[in-house]
Amino acid sequence: MMKVILSTVTSAAGSGFFHTRLLPLFLALIIVVAFILILAFILKTISDRNKKELYLSDKPPLTYWGTVGLIATYSVLIFWAFIVLWPISQMIISAFNGNQAIYVSVGFKNYDFSFKHFKFLFEETAFVNWVINTIFISVTTALLTVILVSFTGYVYSRFRFKGRKATLMSIMLIQTIPIFAGITAFFTLYELLNDLIPVFSKHMMLILIYTAGGIAGNTFILKGYLDSISTELDDAGKMDGCSNMEIYRLIIMPIAKPMLAIIALWSFIGPFMDFLLPRILLSETKALTLASGLYTLVVDDRSFNQPAFVAGALLIAVPIVFMFIYLQKYLISGLSKGSIKG
Amino acid sequence: MNKHLYDHLGNRYKRKNVYLLELATLYEQKTEGNAREIQNQIKALKRQKNTHHYVLALRQFKSEERTYRKSFSKSAKNFKGSKFIGKLKLQLEQAKLDLEFYKKYIDLSYDAQLKYETAKVKIAEIPQIIENTEEIESSIEKTLKDKDTWTKDEVEKLKNEFSMYRKDLKDEKKKNIVKVTRNYKEGTISQKAKTAAIDELNRAFKEKLSIKKMESPNKKSNATLSHSRFDLKNVKKKSVNLMSDLIADEKAKIPIENMTNTAAVPFLTALFPGLGQLIYGQKRKAALMTLISLFIYVIAVPYALGYGNYQGNGIRGLITLKGDLRYVSSMIFMIEGILAIFLLVMAIFMIIVNFRNLYRIEVKKRKGIRPNNWHETKSKLFTEGYPFVVTLPAFIIIIFVVLVPIATTILLSFTDRNDLPNKTRFIWNGFQNYADLFAGKVGTAAGPFWNIFGWTIVWTLTSTTLAILIGFALALLLNNNRIKAKKLFRSIYLLPWAVPAFVSILFFRIMFGQGDAGVLRAFLGVDTIIHNANLTRIVLILLQGWLGSAYVFILSTGVLQAVPEDLYEAAYMDGANSWKKLSRITLPIVLFQTMPLLIGQYTFNFNNFSIIYLFNGGGPNLIEKYGIFAGSSDILLSYIYKLTMDRYYFAMGAAVTLVISMIVIFITFIGFRNTKAFKEERL
């Protein structure tokens, strides 16, 4: 192990990479720092000269070094924004560049705006099938997970029964094993189930695997969430003669709705992003899901077409990105609420 | 043998069965001195059982009861009203007859008393239920009739009236809104007040409209109808339940006497769930339990013996791993064997539960407590049994889709399935794979294990730490309240997380690859990074820094915003500088709150198959160091993938999987054991 670390460091240092690339970088850094210092000085003097009006802000007035810090902060923030945006913008630019064959070219050199690659995606590949398959799998997984988890979360949060601690502990340990561990059995299991129930398709097998993989972790999240809510409402319901099922339906479900929405969202996104299991289980091109299908456009020799991949990637990334930006608060609160109680 | 009987609360009752009372008295008198004499008396009494006067009386009661039951055979159809009411009327009729019949035998037997009391409850309750139901039913009928009498013209007229009203309201609302807007423009009210006022106007409009809607007779009658239908359902369910509860209460107060000895029932019938319950007189429960019997003797046991398998051979197949047919893969024998074991374990578990249930009933019955009736069983199933009933589907799925595959992987690691794809037969191999793994001879499948293990650790630590540092630094910088356009920055920083990972990784693969698009490669000043192991590794770590920072950024931003401002003010008062504030206030709070999720990030990267596999397929391959089974940037998980999916070394892959699963489980367990929840036994 140590050997690997050492060899990584030494060979990187010896490759000439540092001399040719890092020296100019170092010089650039010095210039940037000097620039910031001078800029801060100019700004500070300008603001000092204008300081005739009454000072109204509750923040203390900026000192020279405060100005320097502020400018430095802005530069770091803008720098990172550039690093984030540059590859993504390249992706968008390249998706609409008609002047590409099967390789992507970057920038506006030889640029020709067209929808050629989108057209190719819809006409020459099974993109539409992939979308339909993916949505079928994701939606069913999300629904199944929410139904099963709402029951398990409720039971583990509100009931004390025999075997509770033992099963909870084993659920806890099971969820740490990656789904990957059972990889060899899934295909044979599918064969068995398909023999038993002929309509059982490989897509349904995927749904089962995703759902089963999600139950354990999500039970913990929902249990943690429900634990943080006092049982007063349930008790009141019990007093009024509600059965357990009615408490579940009329009290717990409305309370748990925000959390269940988050669980549904994550169980929906999971199958959306997974390319490993579909690649193992599904063989026909038409049966693939989005992730595994787009992967073939970059890797397989027969269907190799980088620009088409970029176009398809853009099509699925846009809705997901907007969803994330729109729902970021809920996604985060779900993450932290579920886990901290452990 | 006790002279008295007890109910579940421990109340004492006298025996009505004279024969048993005599026996009990004799047993009680038995002392060391007169043991023999009493024994003889007991024997004599037992011998005379068939001629005992009480036994004869009891027999007569039983035969009379039989003839009485036969004479009573009316159908519910003979009664007026709905099916529900017909049934109730029939029950009432029967209860009245029961009351008369069993009254004569109250002193003879507790069974008769129970029937008598039940009939009494029914006579008291049923008329009330019928009355309530009929009342609601007639009101429903009346509403329906009223609804039909409306003519088309009348309905049309009402509709017009409503739309007129709606128009008026709308105009008024518009006028008001205009007024509010004018006020806002003149500057007499603020923007907030304006939106609030408009909201209020809209709400008032909707409310008035919905009230007007209810004035329409059609709507009104529909609402009444749905309300009374709900009422009807409720009354039926609740009142019948109430009656059953009252009967169960009576039942609890009346003990049972056992003429026949059923002590052996739990032992003899435990293997066949349903049979014992039938003997105890719980007919419907017995029917339910028969389903379990069916599961055991139609599915589990035959499957374990090899009948009804797909191509395997039950548990036997697990030992031989092959059958008569040449083409059937050993994998099927293994999985069907595992399934058989799981089914068998489930069957045995059910039998044990059944035995305990029967045994408990038997012990209670001896004391004098009657077995539960169907109503009690049902309600028990949905109160005490509720947790088990509703989590059952989840556990079945977990057992068959998670546990069975894991068991398969465990067993597979003890076989010799390390070869060509068309080799379908394999045999047990003991610990050979593990021995190979730890020996790690270069050139074999296990050769690169230790190298990969080392790189996995380096990768996990560096990439996650880098992501955490970047993400946290960004959150901290952006938390400065002098910074403008925070929302914009936040949305941009979210992007690496929001763009699906496989999309961005594959795009980076293109950007670092050969061809025109490989601009980033040009920045590194090399021809291609695909063939340079260390550059690939460094780029992978930087890439994960890019990808993972967004998540950490969002996470710590959330926590930072929640840090109470007065903490900083207090620190400022005490003369703390920025560094002190950061290290004494911000860092501890953020770290404490996000620790579990940050640890989760380390586990995530330990298992981060996608970035490794998608970016460079684990390459470049260094044959002399890594052999043909893995590349230099492979982590353990992608190594397993390559072993199983590309090279068909299933057994070795399973062994590696098991080793790393053990490590991960152990670490999780240790971490979990130290949490508050576990220590306080709150779980």
How much is the pTM? 0.83
Of A105, A151, A173, the CB nearest to B668: A173
Q: Of A45-54, B12-21, B141-150, which gets the smallest average pLDDT?
A: A45-54
Contact, B624 vs B443, CB < 8 A? no
pLDDT score at B67:
86
Say yes or no: A145 contacts chain B, CB-CB below 8 A.
Answer: no
The token pair that represents B106 in the structure block: 């109250």
A74 touches chain B (CB under 8 A): yes
- Residue A342: pLDDT band (50, 70, 90) is very low
Nearest-angstrom CA–CA distance, A135 and A309: 19
**Predicted confidence band at B682 (pLDDT cuts at 50, 70, 90)?**
low
What's the CATH architecture for A122-340?
Answer: Orthogonal Bundle (1.10)
Query: Residues B340-361: pLDDT tens digits?
Result: 999 999 999 999 999 999 999 9
Mean pLDDT score, A288-306: 86
CATH 1.10.3720.10 residue window(s) in chain A: 122-340
Dmax over CA atoms of chain A, in Å, equals 86
pLDDT of residue B421: 59
Per-residue pLDDT band for A220 (boundaries 50, 70, 90) equals confident
Task: Report DSSP state, residue B576.
Answer: -
Q: Do A21 and B534 touch (CB under 8 A)?
A: no
Residue B611 · residue B537 · CB < 8 Å: no
Mean pLDDT of the region A69-96: 89
Between the CA of residue B622 and those of A102, B448, B619, what are the distances in Å? 29, 10, 8
- Residues of B with Cβ-Cβ distance to A291 under 8 angstroms: 500, 502
- Provide long-range contacts, Cβ within 8 A and 24+ apart, for B124-131: B125/B239, B125/B242, B125/B243, B125/B246, B126/B88, B126/B89, B126/B91, B126/B92, B126/B95, B126/B243, B127/B92, B128/B239, B129/B88, B129/B235, B129/B236, B129/B239, B129/B240, B129/B243, B130/B81, B130/B85, B130/B88, B130/B89, B130/B92
Most confident of A47-56, B279-288, B509-518: B279-288
Q: Which two tokens stand for residue A118?
A: 């989108």
**Residue ranges of A 242-301 with Cβ closer than 8 A to chain B:** 243-245, 248, 272-273, 275-276, 280, 291, 294-295, 298
Is the pLDDT reported for residue B523 higher than 70? Answer: no
Residue A341 has pLDDT above 50, yes or no: no
Partner-chain contact A184 B499, CB within 8 Å:
no
Cα atoms found within 13 Å of the Cα of residue B495, Cβ hemisphere only: 20
CA distances from B17 to B23, B55, B361 (A): 10, 8, 21
**CA distance linking residue B462 with residue B470, whole number of Å:** 12
- B522 contacts in A (CB within 8 Å)? none
- ipTM, two decimals: 0.83
pLDDT value of position A340: 42
Which chain A residues are Cβ-neighbours of B383 within 8 angstroms?
Answer: 243-244
**Over 90: is that where the pLDDT of B679 sits?**
no
Name every residue whose Cβ is closer than 8 Å to that of residue B413 and which is 6 or more positions away in sequence: B433, B434, B651, B652, B654, B655, B657, B658
- pLDDT per residue over B126-140, tens digit each? 999 999 998 998 988
Query: Nearest Cβ partner of A84 from B393, B492, B610?
Result: B492
Three-state SS letters, chain A = CHHHHHHHHHHHHHCCHHHHHHHHHHHHHHHHHHHHHHHHHHHHHHHHHCCCCCCCCCCCCCCHHHHHHHHHHHHHHHHHHHHHHHHHHHHHHHHCECCCCCCCCCCCCCCCECCHHHHHHHHHCCHHHHHHHHHHHHHHHHHHHHHHHHHHHHHHHHCCCCCHHHHHHHHHHHCCCCHHHHHHHHHHHHHHHHHHCCCCCHHHHHHHHHHHHHHHHHHHHHHHHHHCCCCHHHHHHHHCCCCHHHHHHHHHHHHHHHHHHHHHHHHHHHHHHCCHHHHHHCCCCCCCCHHHHHHHHHHCCCCCCHHHHHHHHHHHHHHHHHHHHHHHHHHHHHHHHHHHCC
Query: How large a percentage of chain B has pLDDT more than 70?
Result: 94
Tell which of B303, B339, B386 to mutate to test the A interface (max A CBs under 10 Å).
B386
In this prediction, residue B386 has a pLDDT band, given cuts at 50, 70 and 90, of very high
- Of B286, B291, B288, the closest CA to residue B275 belongs to B286
Of A151, A184, A243, the CB nearest to B412: A184
* pLDDT for B675: 63
Q: In this structure, are residues B116 and B98 in contact, taking their beta carbons and an 8 Å threshold?
A: yes
- Note whether A73 contacts B: Cβ–Cβ < 8 A: yes
B558 vs A336: CB contact, 8 Å cut-off?
Answer: yes
Helix H or strand E encompassing B268: helix B265-269
Q: Are B109 and B17 in contact (CB under 8 A)?
A: yes
Highest mean pLDDT among A3-12, A13-22, A217-226: A217-226
What pLDDT score does B346 carry? 94
What is the domain partition of chain B in residue ranges? 1-51, 65-255, 265-412, 444-679
For the segment B181-233, what is each residue's pLDDT rounded down to a tens digit? 888 888 788 888 888 989 999 999 999 888 888 777 777 888 888 999 998 99
Q: Testing the interface with B: which of A3, A8, A102 to mutate, by most B Cβ within 10 A?
A: A8
Whether the per-residue pLDDT at A308 is higher than 80: the answer is: yes
Give the CATH fold of the B444-679 domain: MetI-like fold (1.10.3720)
Question: Is the separation of the CB atoms in B638 and A178 below 8 Å?
Answer: no
Q: Which residues of A touch B637 (CB under 8 A)?
A: 178, 180
B526 secondary structure, DSSP code: S
Is there a contact between A4 and B458 if contact means CB atoms under 8 Å apart? yes
Distance from CA of A91 to the nearest CA of B (A): 7
Distances, alpha carbon B374 to alpha carbons A54, B69, B650, in Å: 84, 21, 53
The predicted pLDDT at position A52 comes to 62
Q: Residue B121: what pLDDT?
A: 92
